[in-house]
Structure 1
Amino acid sequence: MKNYLFTALVFLLTFSGMQAQEVAQLTLNESILYAIENNVTTKNARLETLISKATVKEKTALGLPQINGSFNVDYNPQIPVVFLPNQPPFGDPSNPSDVIPARFGVSYSSGLGVNMTQMIFDGSFFVGLRAAKTLTQLTDFDLVKAENDVIENVKKAYFGVLVNQERIRLAASNLARIDSLLKETKALNEAGFAEKIEVSRIQVQRNNTFSQMERSRTAWEISKEILKIQMGMPLTVDILIAETLQDLNPEEELNQLLALESEGRVELDQLKTQIELVQLDLKFNTSQYMPTIDFIGNARRTGAGNQMNTVFDKKNWFGSSLLGVSMNIPIFDGLSKSARIQKNKYTINQLENQRFFLNDNFKNEIFTAKSNLKNDLNLLDIQRENLDLAQEVFEIARIKYQEGVGSNLEVVNADSALIEAEINYLAAMYDGLISKVNLEKALGLLKANLNN
């Protein structure tokens, strides 16, 4: 995380203020670092780690002395009456009633006190403290998982931008080639060496190529918006990609990746920590059967007077204090603790079953990802060969047509085949990159491959 602020500053410096719209030039690694810092998911995950640390402090505070102060000023408009029996030797023979009303108290009173409690023994406190620290570990793993998900999404979105960018470049190149051929064919038609249908045929091909380029431009703009959303970048900022698909698709690296074994998945760390939390909750519920012991102390001074101005006379104030130990012994709770303990045990069994399933599922995920990457690499070789052959066929067809030994239809068909070969080659390259990301995820290497 130490690079996040630096990377954000780099982006601010690369924004161009000379244009109506700010522009950021990006590499894949810069996109990932920016996304980790600014994506909403990772931002919330980092906040969750701070919440968990605050929870640890909150739980720790329960074991420290709890001190509270109190102050009161009271006024009795009518002093309460206490009834005494009208009996000798304190009775009043002149009072026919069998009770004598008496008022005990004064009109005004005040008090100032301090109460303190200190936990001496509570088995659940130490369990709760361990659980809070374990929760912090879980939020750390959650942050790693969130960052991994962001890296995966940014990489795939970034590759989508690159593919559409390359499609635009190829479409522009194809359009230039078709325009050149169309110009030559029109000249031949005007000279009487080519039929009008030949011009129309190439014009149709030219229109199709232009439409393909416009669709690629639209897809490129959409893919950039998707990338900005994944990065958490303002949509008002335009982005320029500083890399090509070829830069990010070295076959040596892909072959090395195929030879690697899993380095562990953060999902298993998350699940293991969740099991630890439930086990601690089980201990917490079990500890509820033990008594709790607290030290209690308080000190208080009180004063009173029949007039408000005499309440705070020093001579009317007296002190009192108390020191003691209290013990709370649970006897019977309707078996609620027993039910919670059973729930904990069942939950642990569920999580253990899930862990076994995840282990098998991740092994299958690695096998599938490696198989897909191998297949994509083979297809990439085939599509590269097809592209070279299609280029060669087009050049031959064009030369034959220019020398009058070939047909216009043959050139148009060769051009269509070349365009299809280019599209297939780009698709194979993109599939290879996506399979690479999927394998990195399956091997638990997305975080380790930030510099790739």
Structure 2
Amino acid sequence: MKKNLFAIWLFLSLPFAAMAQEQVLLTLEEALAISLENNVDVKNAKLETLISKATVKETTASGLPQITGTFDLNYNPAIPVVFLPNEPPFGDPSIPSDVIPARFGVSYQSSLGANVRQMIFDGSFFVGLRAAKTYKQLTDYDLEKTEIDVIESVKKAYYGVLVNEERIRLAQANLSRIDTLLNETRALNEAGFVEKIDVSRIQVQRNNSYTQLERSRAALEISNQILKLQMGLPQEYDLVLTEELKDFNKLTETIDLLDDPGSDRIEVKQLSTNIELVGLDLKNNQSQYMPTIDLVGNILRAGAGNDLSSVYNKQNWFGSSLIGVSMSIPIFDGLAKSARIQKNRIQMQQLENQKYFIQESIKNEVFSAKTNLKNDLAILQVQEENLELAREVFDMSRIKYTEGVGSNLEVVEADAALIEAEINFLSALYDGLVSKVDLEKALGILNTSIEN
């Protein structure tokens, strides 16, 4: 709860920070909290849960009394004619026809009434009520799945920004190191101790280092924009991450993850709920073979007059009422219900097959994720050793060169090897962090560290 309050406060303060051109400091935990409040997919999933709640209320309402009011005011420009037989004792000998035309009715009629219908028995109502509640549960699972996907995307984007920031720091250090070497070599060339080719060789290495720095800066800008997009923040905000890659490179915690048994995956829960919904639809179709019984009632007041002014006179109005039971019995619908029932059963078989497949896929996903993480950890260890060795080789080459017992070419090659080792180490570290996220997702524990 405290994390949510902090996230809301932080997000509300962001527009003011952006207008003031201030930097917004974020940890990974804070970035995740803001994402779960502001990501568009999460927002829509939350709205879907509200729709499901309204659906439950709508379904429940159909079992409550349904009351409607009616009001009519009719004018008959020509009153209908009714024909009567011209026979005794009501016949009129003066009329030559064998029928007598008669007008029954008045020019104006009005009525005011209320109708009530209360369901007594309808099998589909109770099934529908259960289905609505199950649908609400499904939307809750959909929200959880969306939050897991957002957490995965934000974590990977966050690590991507940290990696590019570290690449920039290393590239700047490399450029500073090669600039120092370039200045020293130029001085030695001017003093006649080294040839011009030695200066050119280092200049080429300096240009390569500068290019690497500019690429890292461009990659950082792109990764920052990706992170803000995943968090649901406008691109104008200036984010500054307060953590470094070493804060997440916890070997013990990562190794423990390999022995974690995990928990039930949300995808299986979603499929199980869908199977339940199809089963309820099957019961609904079966229940439609049963009759429906309703209690009906109405009350009516009606009046009439030959003139509009006399329609609403009290003496021209009369009342009536009705109370009864209505039963509807299905007899034959062309086997439509039977076809729907057959379709439901086939759909359940499809979902059961899909559930089995996804369960097996999850096992394979966990196996692959653990294998990838183990492999990435091994590669990371090797790359870390290579980085230390590359630093030692460069330092030794630099010392030999300054003492006049080593060549300029050795220093350039050692510097290039050091830069390559740094890049490989950062790539291995990022791959390891991404593999860790993939394993957490495969085990179904990716969202357990986030408090709702």
Fold shared, TM-score > 0.5 on shorter chain: yes
- Measure how far apart 1:27 and its partner are: 1.1
Equivalent position of 2:242 in the other structure: 242
Name the CA distance, whole Å, in 1 between partners of 2:80 and 2:121.
Answer: 42
Name the CA distance, whole Å, in 1 between partners of 2:297 and 2:16.
Answer: 67
Note if contact 2:18-2:236 (Cα within 8 Å) is conserved in structure 1. Answer: no
Name the CA distance, whole Å, in 1 between partners of 2:11 and 2:306.
Answer: 75
Note if contact 1:85-1:100 (Cα within 8 Å) is conserved in structure 2. Answer: yes
Equivalent position of 2:205 in the other structure: 205
Equivalent position of 2:173 in the other structure: 173
Q: Deviations over 1:51-72 (max 9, x none)?
A: 0000000000000000000111
Note if contact 1:16-1:24 (Cα within 8 Å) is conserved in structure 2. Answer: no
Q: What is the DSSP-based 3-state SS (H/G/I as helix, E as strand, rest coil) of the residue aligned with 1:93?
A: coil
Does residue 337 (structure 1) correspond to residue 337 (structure 2)? The answer is yes
- Measure how far apart 1:78 and its partner are: 1.4
The one-letter amino acid of 1:402's match is T
**Which residues of 2 match residues 292-371 of structure 1 at below 5 A?**
292-371=292-371
Does residue 183 (structure 1) correspond to residue 152 (structure 2)? The answer is no
The one-letter amino acid of 1:143's match is L
Equivalent position of 1:276 in the other structure: 276
The one-letter amino acid of 2:232's match is G
Q: What is the DSSP-based 3-state SS (H/G/I as helix, E as strand, rest coil) of the residue aligned with 1:404?
A: coil
Q: Deviations over 1:272-322 (max 9, x none)?
A: 000000000000000000000000000000011111111111111100000
The one-letter amino acid of 1:357's match is F
- Measure how far apart 1:3 and its partner are: 4.2
The one-letter amino acid of 1:289's match is Y
Give the TM-score normalised by the residue count of structure 1: 0.98
Bigger mean CA deviation after superposition, 80-89 or 325-334 = 80-89
**Which residues of 2 match residues 229-268 of structure 1 at below 5 A?**
229-268=229-268
Bigger mean CA deviation after superposition, 23-32 or 121-130 = 23-32
The one-letter amino acid of 1:218's match is A
Extract unaligned runs of 5+ from structure 2.
none
- Measure how far apart 1:11 and its partner are: 3.6
The one-letter amino acid of 1:180's match is T
Structure 1 pair 189–177 and aligned structure 2 pair: CA distance change class (3 A) = same
**Which residues of 2 match residues 25-174 of structure 1 at below 5 A?**
25-174=25-174
Note if contact 2:17-2:24 (Cα within 8 Å) is conserved in structure 1. Answer: no
Q: Deviations over 1:166-191 (max 9, x none)?
A: 11110000000000101111111111
Name the CA distance, whole Å, in 1 between partners of 2:2 and 2:67.
Answer: 40
Structure 1 pair 217–359 and aligned structure 2 pair: CA distance change class (3 A) = same
The one-letter amino acid of 1:68's match is T
Structure 1 pair 407–20 and aligned structure 2 pair: CA distance change class (3 A) = farther
Name the CA distance, whole Å, in 2 between partners of 1:210 and 1:12.
Answer: 40
Bigger mean CA deviation after superposition, 208-217 or 243-252 = 243-252
Name the CA distance, whole Å, in 2 between partners of 1:378 and 1:183.
Answer: 39
Q: What is the DSSP-based 3-state SS (H/G/I as helix, E as strand, rest coil) of the residue aligned with 1:63?
A: coil
Structure 1 pair 16–107 and aligned structure 2 pair: CA distance change class (3 A) = closer
Name the CA distance, whole Å, in 2 between partners of 1:158 and 1:404.
Answer: 46
- Across the two proteins, how many residue pairs are aligned to each other? 451
Does residue 195 (structure 1) correspond to residue 192 (structure 2)? The answer is no
Structure 1 pair 14–116 and aligned structure 2 pair: CA distance change class (3 A) = closer
Name the CA distance, whole Å, in 2 between partners of 1:158 and 1:450.
Answer: 16
The one-letter amino acid of 1:257's match is L
Extract unaligned runs of 5+ from structure 1.
none
Does residue 215 (structure 1) correspond to residue 212 (structure 2)? The answer is no
The one-letter amino acid of 1:237's match is Y
**Which residues of 2 match residues 389-404 of structure 1 at below 5 A?**
389-404=389-404
- Measure how far apart 1:13 and its partner are: 3.6
Give the TM-score normalised by the residue count of structure 2: 0.98
Name the CA distance, whole Å, in 1 between partners of 2:360 and 2:261.
Answer: 15
Q: What is the DSSP-based 3-state SS (H/G/I as helix, E as strand, rest coil) of the residue aligned with 1:246?
A: helix
Name the CA distance, whole Å, in 2 between partners of 1:14 and 1:86.
Answer: 93
Bigger mean CA deviation after superposition, 98-107 or 426-435 = 98-107
Q: Percent identity?
A: 66
Q: What is the DSSP-based 3-state SS (H/G/I as helix, E as strand, rest coil) of the residue aligned with 1:88?
A: coil
| Runs of 4+ off more than 3 Å | 1-6, 11-22
